[in-house]
Amino acid sequence: MHELSLCQALLDQVEQIARDHGATRVDRILLRVGPLAGVEPMLLQHAYPLAAAGTLAEAAELVIEPSGVRVRCSDCDAETDATPNRLLCGACGSFKTRLISGDELLLANLELTIPDD
C-alpha cells in the first residue's frame, strides 16, 4: 500500500541524479528488491507510471531485479538459502542467523540520455 510513496521517493532520487549528470531523459531504472523489503514489485510497477508522469523519468523502463534470501549462521558459519518466513540455518538448523541478502530496497543502476556525452 505504500508503493506510491516509495515511487515518489524513488523519483526524487532519480531526478536528482539525472540532473547531476546533465541528463535530458531517464531511459531505464534498475531496482534490487528482496522479498523481506516489505515491497510488492507488481504494485511498484503499477504505481510507477502515476508517480512518474511529468518527470524526466516519465518514459523510463522500470526493471525490478529480485534478490534471494540468504543467511549466515553464527553457530556453524554456513551460508545457506532461506525463505522469508523460515530464516533458520540450512546446515545446522540454528535460529542464530544473520540475514545477508533478501531485504534490499536499492536503486542499483540508471540509464540516462545525456546530450553530447
Partner 1 sequence: MCDSCGCNITPGNEHLVRADGKHAKTEDGRAAVTVLQALLSENDHQAAHNREHFDRRGVLALNLMSSPGAGKTSLLEATIEALGQELGIAVIEGDLETENDAERIRAKGVPAIQIATGSACHLDAHMVHDALHRLDLSGVDILFIENVGNLVCPASFDLGQHRNVTLLSVPEGDDKPAKYPVMFRAADLVLCTKADLLPHMPEFQPERAEGYLRNLASAAPFEILSTRPDGDLSPWIQWLRDELHAQRARLELGRTIRPNIQKDGERQHAASTQGTHEHHHHGQHGHHHAHSHG
Q: Which residues bind partner 1 (CB under 8 A)?
A: 1-2, 5-6, 9-10, 12-13, 17, 20-23, 27-28, 31, 34, 36-39, 71, 84-88, 95-100, 103-114, 117
> 69-84 burial string, b = 16+ CB within 10 Å, else e?
bbbebeeeeeebebee
CB of residue 20 to partner 1, shortest distance in Å: 5
CA distance 71 to 87: 7
Question: Which residue number, 20 or 42, has a Cβ lying nearer to partner 1?
Answer: 20
Question: Which residue number, 20 or 54, has a Cβ lying nearer to partner 1?
Answer: 20
For residue 87, give the nearest of 77, 78, 76, 98 by alpha carbon: 98
Question: Which residue number, 49 or 83, has a Cβ lying nearer to partner 1?
Answer: 83
CB of residue 1 to partner 1, shortest distance in Å: 4
Residue ranges with strand state E in 1-117: 25-33, 61-66, 70-73, 79-81, 97-101, 105-113
CB of residue 23 to partner 1, shortest distance in Å: 7
Question: Which residue number, 46 or 98, has a Cβ lying nearer to partner 1?
Answer: 98
